[in-house]
Amino acid sequence: MAITRLEPIKHIRTATLDVAYYETGDPSGQPVLLLHGFPYDIHSYADVAPLLAEHGFRVIVPYLRGHGPTRFAEPDSPRTGQQAALGADVIELMDALRIPQAVLAGYDWGGRAACVVAALHPDRVMGLVAVNGYLIQDIAASMKPLAPALEAGFWYFFYFLTERGTAGLTADRRGIAQVIWRRNSPRWDFDEETLERTVAAFDNPDYVDVVIHSYRHRLGHAPGAAVYDTDERMLAAAPRSPFPRSPSMEPRTATSRRRMGRRAPSISPARAFTVR
């Protein structure tokens, strides 16, 4: 049985990017943006997008910067993967599509982008679904060690701090993704076709630069782009999300966090979301 592919792909020019995205559902319906993580792509939502469309939503699934057919609009734009840039990309995409407000849903990088937008531009967000919790990074505390069992799951964070890691990602994007998939989701019995469908999104000229910068910046080993300095300062103040915390946001054991592939360091969900 052939696996689902989200197509056709549309393109729209924003202030920074030529964004490639999949769209389905009622064009007049409530907009929902589904934001993928690393090392994944829009097909994380291959089953979710049609279900939302069936319920009348306008569903938009963009390739994040450095992924798939998404490209930087200008050759001299900084190939940054910092959290403020990911959030700004969402706002610029909404502006280009003339969407004043949307429900934002995401995990990992996409969840972080959604949380950034909710914290800095709450008037643009009708609802927030952040699968891994409140993912705005606490960069000032990024070098505080975690329990060894958790640190082991972040091997690629430290790998990407080195030139060896840059060379490794350049040489074998597929292999690194496969290892991360298996460690993050040990019960997911994915097949080769599913992996190859996503790996195709890594064949982007900016993929390595964006990924490497993302991990170096979050650990305080690379400066951010000046254009995002104001947003990064605001994020460093740990702004609270204006959305209520669900029971699934409560603290978990180290074992459950590891099984969920929880990213760290980030701000505690329990104090980051408004409780109602």
Rounded alpha-carbon distances, angstroms, from residue 83 to 88, 136, 172, 250, 272? 9, 7, 25, 23, 16
State pLDDT tens for residues 48-99.
999 999 999 999 999 999 999 999 999 999 999 999 999 999 999 999 999 9
Task: For residue 158, name the pLDDT band (cuts at 50, 70, 90).
Answer: very high
pLDDT higher than 60, residue 246: no
The predicted pLDDT at position 240 comes to 67
pLDDT tens readout for residues 184-239: 999 999 999 999 999 999 999 999 999 999 999 999 999 999 999 999 999 999 77
CB 156 within 8 A of CB 180: yes
What is the per-residue pLDDT across 18-53, written as a single tens digit (0 to 9) for each?
999 999 999 999 999 999 999 999 999 999 999 999
From residue 57, alpha-carbon distances to 12, 54, 104, 133, 267 in Å are: 20, 7, 12, 23, 31
Token readout for 42 is: 């829009």
- Hey, what are 6's tokens? 């989200």
Calpha distance 231→229 (Å, rounded): 6
Phi-psi region of 60 (alpha: psi -120 to 50; beta: other; left: phi over 0): beta
> How far, rounded to the nearest angstrom, does the alpha carbon of residue 34 sit from its chain's CA centroid?
10
The per-residue pLDDT for 271 is 42
Q: Classify the C-alpha dihedral 263-268-269-272 as positive or negative.
A: negative
Helix (H) or strand (E) holding 243: strand 241-244
Query: Domains in the chain, start-ordered, CATH in brackets?
Result: 9-274 (3.40.50.1820)
- Tell me the average pLDDT of the chain: 89
Pick from 177, 178, 153, 169: nearest CA to 264? 153
pTM: 0.88
Cα separation, 194 vs 5, in Å, equals 10
